[in-house]
C-alpha cells in the first residue's frame, strides 16, 4: 500500500489545511515578517475558519488537491491550481478535472461558512508596511506579463507541512498536476520560492525569469529570490 494518496479537498479540510499551510510558510522569513505582531497558533486558528470559504469560491476555475496519509487520512500537503477560463468546461458543459473541484455545499452550509469566515477576517491583521516595502508589486507585474502571452495551467499555491517535507509529498502533487496539464494540452506556470527550486527542476520545470530583492528592511533576507518557471508538456 502506498504511503500517501492524492485526493480532492472538501470544506471540512479547513483546520488541517490551516495547520499545514501556515506552518510551512512560517519558516520563510520573507513571509512570516508580515505576521510579526501575532503568533503562528493564532494564524492557524483564524485560517481554519477562512479556508472553507476559499475552497468553495471560484469553483469554475480553481482545482484543489491534497496528499493524505494512506493509513490515517491525515493531510500531508496541499496544492491549488488555476485553469484558464476557456478550459474550465467540456463541450457538454461538464467541468474539466472534476475530481479536483471542491464539492459544493448547501445554502445553509454556505451561510455558516460565510459567517465564520467573516468573523475570522475581522481579526486577520497582518503587520502594516509602507508602499515602498511592497515586495509583491514587481512579482505581480512580471507574472501578468508572462500569463498574457498564452494560456497556462497555473500552480497557484502549494505547501507541505515541515514535518512532511523531503518525503516526496510536494513532488507527488506537482506530478499529479502535470498529468492533468498533459491531458489538456496546457503548459504549467508557477512562481517558485527558494525552497521549491530543486523540486521543480527535478519535475522538469524551466526558469523563464527571476527577481532578487533585498527584504532586510522588513525582516526578511537580503537575497529574496523568486523564479518564474514553466513546464512544457510538448517537450516532456
Domain count for the chain: 1
pLDDT over 90 (residue 220): no
Q: What is the CATH number of the domain that holds 84?
A: 3.40.630.30
Burial label for 184, CB within 10 Å (0-12, 13-18, 19+), is middle
Residue entry with cell 515586495: 135
> Parallel, antiparallel, or unpaired for β 62-69 and 75-82?
antiparallel
Q: Which domain holds residue 224?
A: 4-123+131-235
Per-residue pLDDT for 1 more than 50? Answer: no
C-alpha 61/C-alpha 64 separation (Å) is 10
Only one residue has cell 499545514, namely 20
Contact yes or no for 199/174 (Cβ under 8 A): yes
Q: What is the pLDDT of residues 19-73, one digit of tens each?
A: 999 999 998 877 777 788 889 999 999 999 999 999 999 999 999 999 999 999 9
Distance from CA of residue 100 to its chain's centroid? 13
**205 grid coordinates:** 520545470
Phi first, then psi, for residue 91 (nearest 5°) are: -60, -30
pLDDT digit string (tens) for 180-190? Answer: 999 999 999 99
Report pTM: 0.92
Amino acid at each position: 500500500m502506498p504511503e500517501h494518496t492524492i485526493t480532492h479537498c472538501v470544506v471540512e479540510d479547513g483546520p488541517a489545511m490551516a495547520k499545514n499551510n501556515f506552518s510551512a510558510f512560517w519558516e520563510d522569513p520573507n513571509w512570516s515578517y508580515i505576521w510579526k505582531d501575532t503568533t503562528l497558533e493564532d494564524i492557524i486558528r483564524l485560517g481554519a475558519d477562512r479556508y472553507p470559504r476559499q475552497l468553495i469560491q471560484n469553483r469554475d476555475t480553481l482545482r484543489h488537491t491534497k496528499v493524505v496519509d494512506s493509513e490515517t487520512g491525515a493531510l500531508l500537503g496541499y496544492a491549488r491550481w488555476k485553469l484558464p477560463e476557456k478550459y474550465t468546461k467540456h463541450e457538454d458543459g461538464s467541468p474539466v478535472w472534476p475530481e479536483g473541484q471542491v464539492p459544493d455545499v448547501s445554502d445553509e452550509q454556505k451561510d455558516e461558512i460565510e459567517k465564520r469566515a467573516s468573523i475570522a477576517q475581522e481579526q486577520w491583521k497582518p503587520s502594516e508596511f509602507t508602499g515602498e516595502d511592497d515586495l509583491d508589486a514587481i512579482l505581480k507585474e512580471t507574472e501578468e506579463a508572462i500569463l498574457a502571452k498564452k494560456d497556462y495551467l497555473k500552480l497557484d499555491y502549494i505547501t507541505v507541512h515541515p514535518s512532511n517535507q523531503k518525503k516526496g509529498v510536494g513532488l507527488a502533487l506537482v506530478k499529479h498536476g502535470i498529468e492533468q496539464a498533459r491531458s489538456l494540452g496546457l503548459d504549467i506556470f508557477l512562481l517558485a520560492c527558494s525552497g521549491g527550486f530543486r523540486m521543480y527542476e527535478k519535475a522538469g520545470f524551466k526558469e523563464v525569469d527571476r527577481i532578487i530583492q533585498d527584504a532586510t528592511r522588513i525582516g526578511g533576507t537580503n537575497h529574496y529570490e523568486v523564479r518564474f518557471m514553466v513546464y512544457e508538456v510538448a517537450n516532456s
